[in-house]
Amino acid sequence: MPELPEVEVVRRGLQAGLTRRTVRRVEVRDHRLRWPVPATLGSELAGRRLESVGRRGKYLLMDFGGDTLIVHLGMSGNLRILDSAPLPARHDHVDIDFGGRLLRYHDPRRFGAMLWHRAADGPLEAHSLLAGLGVEPFSDDFDGAMLYRATRGRALSIKQLLLSGTVVVGVGNIYASESLFRAGIRPSTPARRVGRERCERLARAIRETLSDAIGRGGSSLKDFVGSDGQGGYFQLECFVYGRAGLPCRVCGTPVAMRRDQARATFWCPRCQS
């Protein structure tokens, strides 16, 4: 599943390639995504100019003058900017024609979403998909002190707390494992046992890990490509994720792995005590 760095890479591509352009037409070939693509999407978007592309967690927010197209890439979705209109392939579900540039949504598993939010329906941040999200990791609201407060009394593991998205958004499985390694914290540690100093280290590690991943175009493990069709390569530089049994890049100890709720967790038994 695309995580925050991958979504941010896509956001930057859309922002650079499509803002200030006007939608000519919309073609929806399959409305059956995680939630049905609105039947009125074509009439809502036609003639509208894309003003900016934002992001909240893993949701892309395409602003058309106050009304917003909310996009989630799901498990396997991608958005490609094309300079021509090649014949659609299987799973090319939605085309948005910006006149000379085509935005095409491809999603084999159809777990993604394209939803329309009108300004008249209320504040965007109050939308049901966005209202319960934690803080943005690059915002001023996120630091070690905030993380320390949020972990008090929490018995679940620190990794599961990060994955929940209720404290901080966008720290998915890859980046939780990598951030915890950089902070020297074992993933199974109960959140309430992570003290102030380690929370400070972890908050810094989360920001550094996500920044490094964005700079490397994200991680392409299966389906992910950016809006230009290029994959990311952060996965080639991971310290622990996907490296079970291989020597730790820092101390040489074999990287450990176990599965928690169908997710693989990786850590170094020596560096993460």
**Short-list 109, 39, 103, 105, CA closest to 74:** 109
Whether the CA torsion 161, 167, 170, 176 is positive or negative: it is negative
Predicted confidence (pLDDT) per residue in 123-147, tens digit? 999 999 999 999 999 999 999 999 9
Is the Cβ–Cβ distance between 266 and 247 less than 8 Å? no
**Domains assigned to the chain:** 4-126 (3.20.190.10), 144-267 (1.10.8.50)
Task: Write the DSSP symbol of residue 94.
Answer: E
Predicted confidence (pLDDT) per residue in 204-226, tens digit? 999 999 999 888 876 654 555 55
Whole-prediction pTM value?
0.91
263 catalytic residue (yes or no): yes
86 catalytic residue (yes or no): no
154 catalytic residue (yes or no): no
Catalytic residue among 11, 58, 182, 201: 58
Is the Cβ–Cβ distance between 107 and 77 less than 8 Å? yes
pLDDT bin (cut points 50, 70, 90) of residue 231 is low
